[in-house]
């Protein structure tokens, strides 16, 4: 009985080995394609970030006032005759609200 189906059995086993188990399987191929897509999107993100940073670096080299602007915006630095107010939209956690009401 098995002799009659030996070619079909060998074909099915061969397809399973190539399709699932082997290092060059279809499953591995799909995993690698998905990984390639993720890496390409990451490359695009880093390229756009690089372009923005390069533009900002050129501006810093050309305009010394740009350094002052970045220092004020990012690091909250100020001149001696200025006051800085930092407004936050962060909500307080529930346990912080309890502490305020109990005090």
What is the per-residue pLDDT across 5-53, written as a single tens digit (0 to 9) for each? 888 888 888 888 877 777 777 888 889 999 999 999 999 999 999 999 9
What does the alpha-carbon distance between residue 92 and residue 99 come to, in Å, rounded to a whole number?
A: 11
The pTM of this model reads: 0.52
Which stretches within the chain are classed as H helix?
Answer: 6-16, 26-62, 64-75, 94-102
């Amino acid at each position: 009985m098995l002799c009659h189906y030996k070619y079909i059995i060998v074909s099915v086993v061969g397809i399973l080995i190539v399709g699932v188990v082997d290092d060059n399987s279809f499953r591995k191929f799909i995993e690698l394609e998905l990984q390639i897509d993720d890496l390409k999107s990451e490359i695009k993100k880093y390229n756009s970030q690089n372009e923005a940073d390069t533009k900002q670096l050129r501006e810093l080299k050309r305009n010394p006032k740009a350094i002052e602007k970045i220092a004020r915006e990012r690091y909250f630095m100020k001149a001696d005759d200025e006051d800085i107010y930092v407004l936050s939209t962060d909500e307080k956690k529930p346990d912080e609200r309890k502490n305020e009401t109990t005090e």
